[in-house]
A and B are shown apart, each in its own frame.
Chain A
Amino acid sequence: QVQLVESQGGVVQPGKSLRLSCVASGFTFSSYAMHWVRQAPGKGLEWVAVISHEGGIKDYAESVQGRFTISRDNSKNTLFLEMRSLRPDDTAIYYCARDDRSYIGLGPMTHWGQGTLVTVSS
């Protein structure tokens, strides 16, 4: 069955960096677009970034544009999110999610990891 397992988050100081990873199994990872979605404590879902199946197309929410970088290693079935210049309002549970399609666009996010908590605090 499809499994998405995010790396441990943690507490990081404002202005610092953190890299999240998400290991996929149970499907052909290289065939699907992948997302990062976050949820601040007690708040709603916020889409963060998407990457196409081959990694050539990426897009970001305005709130993270220029600070976060999404990438993938299809040989290792792994999705990454490099987060720089972290701010307290980046505190959230970060989910990786698999799209239903290969390319960016209309597909729903059909499978989700359990999420990892990132806390940005001094």
Chain B
Amino acid sequence: SYVLTQPPSVSVAPGKTASITCGGDNIGTKSVHWYQQKPGQAPMVVVYDDTGRPSGIPERFSGSNSGNTATLTFSRAEAGDEADYYCQVWDSSSNHYVFGTGTKVTVL
């Protein structure tokens, strides 16, 4: 089955830029979506189709995808960005949806 690997945690100072990676075999050939989940809340999509940004999501959030790694980047980090972040793809070989292992972001 297809596996997506993320770093367990990322720390960023307020006002700085953070990046979260999502590794998968030839992930660059797939559409990657990113979700933010704050404690006690349901997930919400922050980036879709590698680089798309839903309405209401700040321009600070951006995505990229190439080769074996997709990346979510957010600039000018704020305390409100503290959350768990998950990447997700659809694996056409199995018709299954796959979530990454998740990354806990701390702003300090």
**A114/B42 in contact, CB under 8 A:** yes
Q: Is the interface of B mostly helix, strand, loop or mixed?
A: strand
Nearest CB in chain B: distance from A56 CB, A: 14
C-alpha spacing A104/B90, complex, angstroms:
9
Contact of B88 with A59 in the complex, beta carbons under 8 Å? no
User: Is the beta-carbon distance between B96 and A45 smaller than 8 angstroms?
Assistant: no
Bound together, the chains give a CA A100 to CA B96 distance in angstroms of 16
Q: Chain B: how many interface residues by the 8 Å CB criterion?
A: 25
Q: Interface range on chain A: under 10, 10 to 19, 20 to 34, or 35 or more?
A: 20 to 34
Whether B96 pairs with A108 at a CB distance below 8 angstroms is no
Q: Is A95's CB under 8 angstroms from B42's CB?
A: yes
Q: Does B101 contact A (CB under 8 A)?
A: yes
Q: Quick check: B48 and A108 within 8 Å, CB to CB?
A: yes
When distances are taken between beta carbons in the complex, the residues of chain B under 8 Å from A62 are 1, 96
Q: Which residues of A contact B100 (CB under 8 A)?
A: 44
**Which of B45, B49, B102 is most buried by chain A, counting CB atoms within 10 A of its CB?**
B45
Within 8 A of A (CB), among B5-60: 31, 33, 35, 37, 42-45, 48-49, 54
Query: Is B96 within 8 A of A59, CB to CB?
Result: yes
A115 and B42 within 8 A (CB): yes
Which residues in A have their C-beta under 8 angstroms from that of B108?
A: none
- Asked if B93 is an interface residue, CB under 8 A from chain A, the answer is no
Interface residue ranges, B against A (CB under 8 Å): 1, 31, 33, 35, 37, 42-45, 48-49, 54, 84, 86, 88, 90, 92, 95-102
